[in-house]
Amino acid sequence: MSISALSPTRFLGGISGLLQVAFLLSLLLLLFKAAQFYLHRQWLFKALQQFPCPPSHWLFGHKYQFQEDQELQQVLKWAKEFPSACPRWLWGSRLTILLYDPDYIKVILGRSDPKAHGTYRLISPWIGYGLLLLNGPTWFQHRRMLTPAFHYDILKPYVAVMADSVQGMLDKWEQLISEDTPLEIFQHVSLMTLDSLMKCAFNDQSCAQFNRKPHPYIQAVGDLNYLTFSRIRNVFHQNDTIYSLSSNGRLFKQACKIAHEHTDQVIKQRKSQLQDERELEKIKRKRRLDFLDILLFARMEDGSSLSNKDLRAEVDTFMFEGHDTTASGISWILYALAAHPKHQQKCREEVQSLLGNEASITWEHLDQMPYTTMCIKEALRLYPPVPSVSRELSEPVTFPDGRSLPKGITVSLAIYALHHNPKVWPNPEVYDPSRFALDSTRHSHSFLPFSGGSRNCIGKQFAMNELKVAVALTLLRFELLPDPSRIPLPVSRIVMKSKNGIHLHLRKLP
């Protein structure tokens, strides 16, 4: 080897040559990406020509139109200006088409497009790929396996369990209330619905709501609900590695750990109970199994049992979906009744004439409270616990008015905007239970708190039972009044919340 080959100038020259090549390659890659980005946006503009929307920033989309926690209100403004549908640019070339017309939504719910991957994948580290996130044949297999957990025979005895949990909450309220101080009810209702779900679906009698300390699972779900929702909206948090290094990403990881510890404990406990011969005998005698037992005894089509990962995903999915949605529903219904004393009193009279003052409620009673059911539905219209759901078009779609969208576009079924759409519901902001009177007519897809089609809510009947039990028993014990200084402000999350909690004055009835 000659000396000159090792000389520092030659060496440095070599490095700078490499750097130049690397620089050129990066520049080419950048140019290529920029061209790709530009062409994709052009393609989107062309594809969306028939769908006007307010002007947006090329990088930040409509971010500046959507002030924090004003999302629901902003979508309502757009719905007035742009009939049926409106594109919402999230950032760059990422967008979703908001749909709030029942005819449009009917078309989408009649198809079998998968859940929108870009959005739903962000929930997966928390609830895994259970029924809510699965697609295709695996979803179908799990749905068929779990449907019997919501059979009439199973749901019937749950009414007494739910009533017991509600009474527990009301006992607590009796001790907590004082004349002048309102009570923030959302936290209490969440504990109660968790308690009731754990007993019904998971055979767990630990009575979550009577612990003195705040329940870590409930706190974790509150955090995860907020963190997941804000990640969906943040361009810089889409990449998993970058997100995991951010402070929100670290909080998310910590909250997932707490949530998983809770569900793992529930599975472990049931598995250990099933070691007992007597418990096994009880199961064998049952014609139908509760939710967790179905999962533990499930045999897949090839004869294998459910993997631990799949089992955990279903438990995480149901634990979250089964309590947070009903907690939101019940809290908003109680608020709506507090704000409308005449309807509240009419419901109370109906429940009193049905149950007397005994407050022992059964399955048979649930179909005999028509006015209360109308009031519940009207509150679910104004405050739908799941404000929107999304799909990714697997095929092009043409809507009844002839406008069409290509394959690959994400559509968001904006349930909140549909329920507040003045073309569908005249005077939409008015609480008017008569909209749900038996002889009233409406579009089949104008009221969708539980979504619709094949991917509707599997827990709909369970949920409606719980809402009725909770409302009926609460009205027998308390008069509800709003706190005028803290009117709840609905904010969009995965499950709808009130920004400032739900504060009510409760007056014990004689």
Residue numbers at the binding site for ligand HEM (CB under 6 A): 115, 131-132, 143, 317-318, 321-322, 325-326, 329, 385-386, 389, 449-451, 455, 457-459, 462-463
Give CA–CA dist 447/454, Å, rounded: 16
Q: How far is the CB of 484 from ligand HEM (least distance, A)?
A: 27
Q: What is the 3-state secondary structure (H, E, C) of 13-61?
A: HHHHHHHHHHHHHHHHHHHHHHHHHHHHHHHHHHHCCCCCCCCCECCCE
Nearest alpha-carbon partner for 351 in 481, 438, 474: 474
**Residue whose CB is less far from ligand HEM, 90 or 413:** 413
Q: How far is the CB of 393 from ligand HEM (least distance, A)?
A: 15
Q: What is the CA radius of gyration of the chain?
A: 26
Exposed, middle or buried by CB within 10 Å (0-12, 13-18, 19+), for 120?
buried
Q: How far is the CB of 432 from ligand HEM (least distance, A)?
A: 20
Residue of this chain nearest to ligand HEM (CB atom): 459
- 3-state DSSP assignment of residue 130: coil
**Residue whose CB is less far from ligand HEM, 93 or 465:** 465
**Residue whose CB is less far from ligand HEM, 56 or 325:** 325
**Residue whose CB is less far from ligand HEM, 78 or 450:** 450
Question: Is 207 annotated as contributing to ligand binding?
Answer: no
Q: What is the 3-state secondary structure (H, E, C) of 368-433?
A: HCHHHHHHHHHHHHHCCCCCCEEEECCCCEECCCCCEECCCCEEEECHHHHHCCCCCCCCCCCCCH
Residues in the chain: 510
- 3-state DSSP assignment of residue 497: strand
Q: How far is the CB of 155 from ligand HEM (least distance, A)?
A: 10
**Residue whose CB is less far from ligand HEM, 315 or 355:** 315
Say which DSSP state 98 is in: E
Q: How far is the CB of 275 from ligand HEM (least distance, A)?
A: 26
Q: How far is the CB of 122 from ligand HEM (least distance, A)?
A: 13
Give CA–CA dist 298/300, Å, rounded: 6
- 3-state DSSP assignment of residue 313: helix
**Residue whose CB is less far from ligand HEM, 289 or 481:** 289
Residue list, annotated binding site: 457
Q: Which residues are annotated as a binding site for heme?
A: 457
